[in-house]
Structure 1
Amino acid sequence: MTKLTQVLQPIANQFEKLGTPEPIVHWGHPFFMAIVIFIMGSYVGYAGWRSRIATDPEIVTKSKADHRKLAPFMSAFLAAGYTGGLLSLVMQDKPLLESPHFWTGSTVLILLSINATLSLTGFAGNKAILRTIHAYVGSAILVLLFVHAALGLKLGLAI
């Protein structure tokens, strides 16, 4: 048992006491994360890129606003979902650190942190290069999330 599993086991035990049905424990995480990734994540990426390439000032303003409003919620849901996925594995007595799904999820959270830092610092005085890096890192995150989802489906079907 890894140290991470030991830390999460008491929390998982509390959820087990709730009598959560096995299909919810097994498929709840993928169901809700699919919504966050495919619907919310796709729109956040679309709004971000639309704000960069649109020529109509109204569209640019709306897209920037949508991106700024939704990206933090998407990131928070992904972080919560990451925790939920770990707890799901602990509740199913499965190893945490062995699957590519774990590592892609961890990488996503690191990249989201980098992108959030770029944004929260105002792109160091609104530097165009940092905005461009933010856009491409965000796109890479979305691609990685789609790979992550495929790896998660494979993992879910294997356990």
Structure 2
Amino acid sequence: MTEFANKLAETLQPIADQFKSLNVPESVTHWGHPFFMGIVIFAMGSFVAISGWRGRTATEPEIANKNKADHRKVAPLMTVFLATGYTGGLLSLVMQGEPLLESPHFITGSVVLTLLAINGAISLTGFGGNQPALRNVHAYLGSAIVVLLITHAFLGLKLGLSI
């Protein structure tokens, strides 16, 4: 994977150079990605998880429908922010001259985006015609993603402190 990582770094270098030309302080280059992704993970991630589960478990239809609607609104935005942040994390590493695609943080981020794509696809199919089993898979996979995101955040903190 080293050859691919090197090619990716070479591809991203011109973009990283553009950001470097803005004279962004080193602390922002180093900690900007974790700061903003932490907000996405902890604020949006918890909101998406809580509204999803409230939508499933609420006994009053009005409350259930509101939470389901909130979940449907925020979950795609969270996914877009995470995918954008993934790219930002790669650019941050290139700007700092660090290796790409090697850390456990990178691996968990890649797994998170893959699982989010799968979970989104399940939802976009209408849960396979509203099949309870697929609704359950969606709910529990989403919960597993949140746990993985928390692990990902701690691995990112460890990576940030090591470079």
Matched, 1:71 2:75: yes
Which of 76, 88, 92 is residue 88 of structure 1 equivalent to? 92
Which of 123, 148, 152 is residue 148 of structure 1 equivalent to? 152
Q: How many corresponding residue pairs?
A: 159
The CA distance in 2 between the partners of 1:88 and 1:58, in whole Å, is 44
- In the TM superposition, residue 54 of structure 1 has moved relative to its aligned partner by 1.0
Which of 123, 131, 140 is residue 127 of structure 1 equivalent to? 131
The CA distance in 1 between the partners of 2:132 and 2:83, in whole Å, is 28
Which of 2, 11, 16 is residue 15 of structure 2 equivalent to? 11
The CA distance in 2 between the partners of 1:103 and 1:129, in whole Å, is 28
- In the TM superposition, residue 39 of structure 1 has moved relative to its aligned partner by 0.7
| Residue number in structure 2 paired with 1:48 | 52
- Amino acid corresponding to residue 66 of structure 1 in structure 2: D
Name the SS of the counterpart of 1:2 in structure 2: helix
Overall identity of the aligned pairs, in %: 68
- In the TM superposition, residue 37 of structure 1 has moved relative to its aligned partner by 0.4
Unaligned runs of at least 5 residues, structure 1: none
The CA distance in 2 between the partners of 1:110 and 1:141, in whole Å, is 10
Q: Deviations over 1:47-74 (max 9, x none)?
A: 0011111101111001000000000000
Give the TM-score normalised by the residue count of structure 1: 0.98
- Amino acid corresponding to residue 123 of structure 2 in structure 1: S
The answer to which of 4-13 and 144-153 deviates more is 4-13
The alignment's C-alpha RMSD in Å is 0.8
- Amino acid corresponding to residue 69 of structure 1 in structure 2: K
The CA distance in 1 between the partners of 2:11 and 2:132, in whole Å, is 42
